[in-house]
Structures are given as structure tokens and as C-alpha cells.
């Protein structure tokens, strides 16, 4: 073990942090637009409600799979660790390589920019000044998660609770002002005209991204107390909380707004808030505050858990050694956190960032679907090869198969929507990642050989 790897990260987080990371990452800015997208696909209020409910149920199998994997390997690194233990070091490396260069820092940048765009509702500043404020948010949360894992976990728990309260308020008040006629409203959209089942399937598919991120805590399994117990419980509770929140919000929205209103609105949550007695006149302000709190929670969560994958890779000597450094006082992977935030700050000043992130959607989906396949490989290896999970997802192969089918549907949709970008990005990821892997791998073998010669 190298000098940088001698100090390990401690287990300082509990069950609450597991739930806060999952809910905090999943309930992000996407829900503010996804309601209209799903409404447009479903074509009726009933199918809109069913789409979010069934879509959430179908995401639960993925959390069951992650629960089993996390209980078997309670260490930092998430997907990287599962690929490594399944016997595919190249795939494990590519998982981390893609995360660092393609998905993690850009997601931090986009969320920081989203916060300041909502802040512009209150503060009359624009352009470059907004970008500097976005940088300030990144630096603020970097500082929080750099100085203390425990304090960072406590903050994440508080901000996640705060982001749930406004949604609960809208749902609670809205339930007393539903119009039964609207719950059965429909509009002759293309999907609905083709047939109810087709429209329902389209609506379910459109909810998938709203539920993405529930397995975030897997990246920090090595810092969770009693991880073999708390990880499965936390991941399953995360899925239940998000499902209840989205289903309740969708039900209230469908009972207060017609499906045509929801389908055509660019700000469906704001439109819903405007219909609620007592707070309708403050709808714009309320939704802006909600959005700021929601995205702050997601930004904080990403800065907290994402750097752990590079930390895990560096510990295995498959990434720059400095990423394995643990701060002697704060006991956090400080170098990994700082570099990821530094890359995100550079990207804040880049143009067309959202478009750039879209190019890597296919690779991220492939990474997810391959992760679900690892459970079959690991189960076959069994206890003799160190696979001894304290929790096993129910139904044998059924849950992993459902997770694979759901992700496969998204892959098909992405190939249909952006085939050139998807294939190009996959080729670039492999073309850059594999040479980098073999460089580090060959260097490790040379080091091992030299150590053996010295020992002999």
C-alpha cells in the first residue's frame, strides 16, 4: 500500500445519511419539468398518475440490486467496486474514467447554474456575475464536505428534509381542493390516439429520469456505520419515499389541472402552485424558493458522494495516486473533492454544457445496465470467492432482470433519439479509457515485479 493510502476513511454516517443522499440526489430540478413531459406522453390524467406510480415501482428493483451489492461490498466506490469484484478491471476502470470526465463534474456545473438561474428571480443580476455566484455555491459546498464527513452528512439530512417540506405542503393543501372531473381528463395526443396501453408505456418511460439517483449512497458504503444493515434499509426506504412524494404530487396536479394544461406548461409546478388557495398569488416566489432548495440538496449530494469513485480507483493504483489522499485532520478524500469541483468550475464558464452532457447519456446507461449484470456473475462466484451479502434482493433473478429491462428500454430510446451522438461518445470513452487502463495496469505489474525482485 502506498504512502497516500495509509489513512482510511472512517465510518461516520448512519441510516439518515443513506436516505438523505438517495432522496437528495433523486428529487432534483427534473421534477419541475418532467410532469409536463409525462403528461404529454400519457395523454390522460389517469395514465399520468399510473405512469409515475408504476414507473416508481419499476425503479425499486434497481435499489434491491444495489442493496444486495452494497451489503456484500460495504466500501467506497459503488459501481467501480462491483465491476472489480465481478472480475472485470477494464470495465471497473472505464466506469470511473467516464464518471470523472463525462458525468460527475458536468452535473455539478449544471446544478450550480440552475440554482443561480432561480436566484435571478429575486436578484437582478445576469451573465458573468451569475456564473461567479454559481462558483461561490460550488466552493461553499466543497468546503462543507471537505472539512467533515459527519457535518456534511448532517447538512445533507437537513437540506433533504427542507426540500421535502414544500412538496408535502403543496400535496397536503392540494388534496382538499381536488376536482374529481379533472382526474379523468384526457386529450387526443398522438400516443393516446394510438391506444391506451401505448400511451401508458410511453408515460412510464418518460418518468425514468425523475427516479434516477436513488443509489447514490453506494458510492459511500465504506463510510456508513453498520453498512450491511443500513445500506439495504436506507436504499429501500429511499425508493419508497421518492415514490410516495412523486405519486402524491402527480395525483394532486391531476386533480387541480387538466391534462392539456399540464402537457403544454413549461412550468407545471408553478402552474399547480398558482391554483392552490392562499398561496396562489405567491406561486412564482414559492416555486423559485422550492427550486433553489431542491437543487441545493442535489448539488450538495453530488459534491459529497461523487469524488469517492476516484478515491477508490486511486487506492487500487488505477488512477492518479493523489486522489487516494485522506486529509489527516478532516478525514475526507480532500484531493478528489477539490479536483472534481475545480473541473466543475471550469465547466461553469463553458458554453452549451447541457448539450455536452447529453452526449454521454448512452455511456451512463450502459454503465448502469452492466452493473445489474454483475449480480449474476457475483452470485455464481458465491462465498468461495468472497461474495457473501447480508441482504439478498427478493425474487432471485427477477429483480435484476426488471432493472435490466428498464435500463434497456432507455438505451433503445436514446439510440432512437440521438444515435450518432450515442455511438460517438461510446467510441470516445472506450478509445480513451482502455489505453489509460492498460497504462496504469502495466505500471502496477512492473511495480509488483520490482517489489518481488527486491524481496527475493
Check pLDDT > 90 for residue 199: no
DSSP 213: T
Say how many residues make up the chain.
Answer: 456
Contact 213, 2 (CB under 8 A): no
Q: What is the pLDDT of residue 1?
A: 39
Q: What is the pLDDT of residue 71?
A: 92
Q: Which residues contact 236 (CB under 8 A, 6 or more apart)?
A: 60, 63, 64, 67
Q: What is the pLDDT of residue 308?
A: 93
Distance of CA 56 to the CA centre of its chain: 15
Q: pLDDT tens across 324-368, in order?
A: 999 999 999 999 999 999 999 998 887 554 555 555 567 777 888
Confidence of residue 191 (pLDDT cuts 50, 70, 90): very low
Contact 67, 61 (CB under 8 A): no
Q: What is the pTM of this model?
A: 0.85
Check pLDDT > 70 for residue 2: no
Check pLDDT > 60 for residue 188: no
The domain limits of the chain are 3-444
For residues 62-67, give the mean pLDDT.
Answer: 92
State residue 277 phi and psi, 5-degree precision.
-60, 140
Tell me which architecture the domain covering 3-444 has in CATH: Up-down Bundle (1.20)
Check pLDDT > 60 for residue 192: no
Q: pLDDT tens across 220-250, in order?
A: 999 999 999 999 999 999 999 999 999 999 9
Contact 146, 300 (CB under 8 A): no
Confidence of residue 153 (pLDDT cuts 50, 70, 90): very high
Check pLDDT > 90 for residue 424: no
* 233 vs 245: CA distance, rounded Å: 18
Q: What is the pLDDT of residue 193?
A: 40
Contact 199, 48 (CB under 8 A): no
CA distances from 116 to 109, 124, 258, 285, 400 (A): 11, 11, 31, 14, 39
HSE-CB of 197 using CA atoms within 13 angstroms: 0
User: What do you get for the CA distance between the two ends of the chain, in Å?
Assistant: 19
Q: Which of 54-63, 122-131, 239-248 has the highest mean pLDDT?
A: 239-248
Q: What is the pLDDT of residue 48?
A: 86
- Find the DSSP H helices in 73-208: 79-85, 89-98, 104-119, 128-147, 149-174, 190-194, 196-207
Amino acid at each position: 500500500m502506498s504512502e497516500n493510502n495509509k489513512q482510511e476513511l472512517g465510518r461516520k454516517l448512519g441510516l439518515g445519511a443513506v436516505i438523505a443522499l438517495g432522496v437528495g440526489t433523486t428529487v432534483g430540478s427534473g421534477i419541475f419539468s418532467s410532469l409536463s413531459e409525462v403528461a404529454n406522453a400519457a395523454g390522460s390524467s389517469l395514465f399520468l398518475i399510473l405512469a409515475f406510480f408504476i414507473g416508481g415501482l419499476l425503479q425499486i428493483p434497481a435499489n434491491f440490486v444495489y442493496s444486495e451489492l452494497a451489503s456484500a461490498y460495504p466500501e467506497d466506490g459503488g459501481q467501480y467496486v462491483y465491476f472489480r469484484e465481478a472480475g472485470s478491471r477494464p470495465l471497473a476502470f472505464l466506469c470511473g474514467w467516464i464518471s470523472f470526465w463525462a458525468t460527475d463534474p458536468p452535473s455539478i456545473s449544471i446544478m450550480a447554474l440552475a440554482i443561480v438561474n432561480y436566484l435571478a428571480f429575486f436578484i437582478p443580476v445576469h451573465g458573468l456575475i451569475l456564473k461567479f455566484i454559481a462558483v461561490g455555491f460550488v466552493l461553499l459546498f466543497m468546503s462543507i464536505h471537505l472539512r467533515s464527513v459527519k457535518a456534511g452528512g448532517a447538512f445533507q439530512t437537513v437540506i433533504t428534509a427542507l426540500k421535502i417540506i414544500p412538496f408535502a405542503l403543496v400535496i397536503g393543501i392540494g388534496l382538499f381542493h381536488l376536482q374529481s372531473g379533472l382526474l379523468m381528463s384526457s386529450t387526443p395526443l398522438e400516443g393516446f390516439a394510438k391506444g391506451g396501453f401505448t400511451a401508458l408505456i410511453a408515460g412510464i418511460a418518460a418518468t425514468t429520469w425523475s427516479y434516477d439517483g436513488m443509489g447514490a449512497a453506494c458510492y459511500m458504503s465504506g463510510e456508513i456505520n453498520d453498512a450491511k444493515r443500513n445500506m439495504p434499509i436506507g436504499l429501500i426506504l429511499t425508493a419508497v419515499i421518492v415514490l410516495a412524494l412523486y405519486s402524491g404530487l402527480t395525483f394532486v396536479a391531476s386533480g387541480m389541472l387538466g391534462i392539456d394544461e399540464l402537457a403544454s406548461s413549461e412550468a407545471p409546478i408553478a402552474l399547480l402552485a398558482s391554483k392552490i388557495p392562499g398561496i396562489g398569488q405567491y406561486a412564482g416566489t414559492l416555486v423559485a424558493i422550492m427550486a433553489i432548495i431542491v437543487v441545493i440538496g442535489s448539488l450538495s449530494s453530488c459534491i459529497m458522494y461523487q469524488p469517492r469513485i476516484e478515491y477508490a480507483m486511486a487506492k487500487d493504483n488505477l488512477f492518479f495516486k493523489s486522489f487516494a489522499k485522506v486529509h489527516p485532520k478532516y478525514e475526507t478524500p480532500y484531493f478528489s473533492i477539490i479536483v472534481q469541483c475545480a473541473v466543475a468550475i471550469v465547466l461553469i464558464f463553458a458554453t452549451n454544457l447541457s448539450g455536452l452532457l447529453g452526449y454521454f447519456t448512452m455511456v451512463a446507461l450502459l454503465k448502469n445496465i452492466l452493473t445489474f449484470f454483475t449480480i449474476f456473475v457475483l452470485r455464481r462466484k458465491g462465498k468461495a470467492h468472497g461474495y457473501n451479502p447480508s441482504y439478498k434482493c427478493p425474487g432471485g433473478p427477477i429483480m435484476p432482470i426488471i432493472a435490466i429491462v428498464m435500463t434497456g428500454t432507455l438505451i433503445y430510446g436514446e439510440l432512437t433519439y440521438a444515435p450518432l451522438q450515442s455511438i460517438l461518445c461510446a467510441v470516445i470513452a472506450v478509445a480513451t479509457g482502455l489505453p489509460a487502463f492498460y497504462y496504469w495496469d502495466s505500471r502496477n505489474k512492473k511495480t509488483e515485479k520490482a517489489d518481488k525482485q527486491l524481496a527475493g
